[in-house]
Amino acid sequence: MITLRTILATAALSLVASGPVFAKAVVGDAAPGFTLTDSNGKARSLAEFKGKTVVLEWTNAECPFVKKHYGSGNMQAQQKEATGEGVVWLTINSGAPGKQGAVDGAGANAVIKTSGGGQTAYLLDPDGKVGHEYGAKTTPHMYVIDGEGKLRYMGGIDSIQSADQADIPKATQYVRQALTELKGGKAVSVSTSQPYGCSVKYGT
């Protein structure tokens, strides 16, 4: 039986192939530096977190794939688990004004309050510059940067490309796995994976 969820999931996945083509992010290389304004109007830069492991999470609260991970509590649990271990978690919204899921600072804070998010900061990228530099194609699209500033993982949050919450316990949680391996001084065993979700709603 074809459900609305299936239709939405198929449509969203079909959009990711036309993502940005001028990304500078390469696993094993230095992560592109950036400065963005957070939901409280403060400028935050990647450089300020030098020496710390950093997770970047591209988001759009209206995307069914994002709703999968926030509605189940999976994203918030991983945020709080990571930040509790000293990891910096930056949620980034690259939606252009007027596009689905785009928010201003007040809107971002409302999303955080409603979801109970545990991120370090929610950053706004309305012109999509940072999203394009990282080649962020989907929401969610995840990146892990080590304490030396090198990109160690990019791809999906987990291994099952669906919008169904029931798949979360069965999936390999790639971000959590990467963080555990980095903490243990090990190489990240899965450094790239296919991101899945809704296309990032860039203006251009």
Q: What was the pLDDT predicted at 4?
A: 43
The number of residues in the chain equals 204
Helix or strand (DSSP H, E) at 78: helix 74-84
Q: What was the pLDDT predicted at 11?
A: 44
As for how many domains the chain has, the answer is 1
Tell me the pLDDT of the chain averaged across its residues.
91
Grade residue 9 by pLDDT with cuts at 50, 70 and 90: very low
Kindly tell me if the per-residue pLDDT of 124 is higher than 80. Answer: yes
Kindly tell me if the per-residue pLDDT of 10 is higher than 80. Answer: no
- Asked whether residue 204 is assigned to any structural domain, the reply reads no
Q: What was the pLDDT predicted at 144?
A: 98
Per-residue pLDDT tens over the stretch 20-46:
445 789 999 999 999 999 999 999 999
Q: What was the pLDDT predicted at 71?
A: 97
- CA angle 32/36/37 to nearest 5° reads 170
Look at 76 and 18; give whichever has higher pLDDT.
76
Per-residue pLDDT tens over the stretch 154-189:
999 999 999 999 999 999 999 999 999 999 999 999
- Asked whether residue 13 is assigned to any structural domain, the reply reads yes
Q: What is the mean pLDDT of residues 119-123?
A: 98
Q: What was the pLDDT predicted at 35?
A: 98
The CATH number of residue 169's host domain is: 3.40.30.10
Kindly tell me if the per-residue pLDDT of 79 is higher than 70. Answer: yes
What is the per-residue burial (b if ≥16 Cβ within 10 Å, else e) of 75-87?
Answer: bbebbbebeeeeb
d(CA 168, CA 159): 9
Kindly tell me if the per-residue pLDDT of 97 is higher than 80. Answer: yes
User: Containing domain of residue 138, as a range?
Assistant: 4-199
Q: What was the pLDDT predicted at 22?
A: 58
- Asked whether residue 86 is assigned to any structural domain, the reply reads yes
Q: What was the pLDDT predicted at 23?
A: 72
Region of poorest pLDDT, from 2-6, 35-39, 81-85, 121-125: 2-6
Cα–Cα distance list, 142 to 1, 58, 89, 93, 102 (Å): 31, 7, 10, 12, 18
Neighbouring CB atoms inside 10 A of 21's CB total 7
Give the CA count within 13 Å in the CB-facing half-sphere of 73.
3
